[in-house]
Amino acid sequence: MKHKIITYFFCYAIAITLIFGLAPLAYGAENGQSGLYSLEPAGVYDKFQNYVDGYSMMVDSGLLVDMNNSEVCTVLENDHKRIEIYKETLPSGVSQEAYMNYSNQFILNTADHTKEYETKTKINGCTVHILQWSREKLARVNNDKNYYASIEILSGTRDVITIFVKADTPFYMNGGYLHLVNQFSTFAPSKFAYQKQAEAVSVAGRGWNQETKDVFEKYFSGDSSLQWGIFEPSAPDDFTQLRHLETEMEYEFPFLLNYTSFENKYKHPNLAYRLENAQKNNKILELTLQTSWTASGEGNMVYDVLDGEYDEFIKDYAKTVSDFNHPVLFRLGNEMNGDWCPYSSYNTSKDTLIFKEFYRYIYKIFEEAGADNVIWVWNPNGKSFPDFEWNDAVMYYPGDEYVDIVGLTAYNTGTYYPGENWTSFQELYDPLYSEAMRIYGKKPMMITEFASSSIGGDKNQWIKDMFSRIESYENIKVAIWWDGCDWDAYGNIARPYFIDETPAIIKTFKELLNKRPLFWDVYA
């Protein structure tokens, strides 16, 4: 009877803490991590107590604690093991079973991941799901931790604590992971969460050539006015359609979005031409590089990149950009917090460090190529899919020294598919901009791509409302309209984002793109 009472209290405490114990968030370096936790010797282990989330557990001795993103995650690690702890209450309609199934879909990629153990058991009377797996070590990742375990502690019907562990040797060689959960307990949180803020860009310290410095200061300094760009599918290879659009609107877009991929393992066939043709047509390129999906059974290209298989391609790509010598906005692996991207942690073991290693590795190659004309754009999607803590955008941030501009992306996708809602520009970007400013507000921002569908509402009015609202986001310096469409599985247009869809839309863009700000004549 005594055991049952203790067990009930343990589960009840977890439920109460998860439901009612969410601490408010504090921003700013003045708060820091002081007093957010304690770490004390307790025999062969250390006892770790998190006062933000309200839990206690035994951890390996000698771990360093990182609570810079403590609203989302707590990290403990040393050279051989890393532990990430996430606590969340699932949204209505998402069951614990759905959370576990969705979170662990990566394990179906058996070309890269080897499942070693899986069980659902009771520990201290609570249901615990354990998944253990491994992958091959990656040649371009220093001290790669390629042995994994994910422990999900379930409480009530909607509460989950996820303990994510990775190590550089098999777990039987490094103390395992069951001690992390065997004495896990909860208590009432008593401290505010802390979120570290990104630091400003030091133009003098970036090592840019003079033209690139001038472009950054012209378009992305504190007093820079909003500028516009466009994605037009045929440009910069062919400017015929874009010239037609610009003639109709009597406006020349200074920025142009272009996508590239890892076409082969040696050389991008069109990169040099695209760069030169964009320059010839007075466009600053927002150059995007993404890995592609591979055929079933071939594994994930991100792993191949980090195993050195694409070194020749990346080095040639970086040299081509460097030799171009004019400013380039380089956007690597955008929307990484979306499950549709192969480089999302959803597809790579729930391990956001894989993306950060990918980003930093390519950054290093660009540095070695002497690419002093590159302005780096880091660009998560406005909403995470899945919208779980381990997939939060902040977990993908590679570090201040690797990011010059923070990109924002959110679309009004319309209502073509069941469950979609018509969403105004303000509804999309007010919360997105507010959250970005809290964390990355010292860096300039741009809307790297956005648009509205015409299905489900008045697209022309949406555009007018967008123009009236966007000027209030003073830290957004460039906005790029995505002129294209999404197709459904049957080849039908599902989301028409065309900038010239109707004469009325063309007229609206023509009027508002050329509208001068208030007091233009005074300050121009």
Residues noted as catalytic: 335, 449
The sign of the dihedral angle between the CA atoms of 327, 196, 24, 40 is positive
Please give the Cα distance from 12 to 169 (Å, whole number).
36
Cβ 167 vs Cβ 81: under 8 Å: yes
Report whether 17 contacts 35 (CB < 8 A).
Answer: no
Q: How far apart are CA 178 and CA 130, in angstroms?
A: 10
E-assigned strand segments in 269-416:
284-290, 328-332, 374-378, 405-409
| Tokens found for residue 30 | 């003045």
CA distances, 100 to each of 108, 159, 329 (Å): 13, 12, 38
Cα 269 from Cα 521, distance rounded (Å):
46
Token match 């007018």: residue?
A: 464
Q: Where are the beta strands (DSSP E) in 95-184?
A: 114-123, 126-134, 147-155, 159-167
Q: How many CA atoms lie within 13 A of 42 on its CB side?
A: 15
CA 461 to chain centre: 30
The phi, psi pair for 324, rounded to 5°, reads -60, -40
Q: How far apart are CA 462 and CA 115, in angstroms?
A: 48
Residue recorded with tokens 């001290």: 143
Strand ranges (E), 306-431? 328-332, 374-378, 405-409
Q: Which amino acid does the sequence have at 134?
A: S
C-alpha to C-alpha distance for 405 and 289, rounded to whole angstroms = 16
CA–CA dist 114, 130 (Å, integer): 15
Contact 13, 186 (CB under 8 A): yes
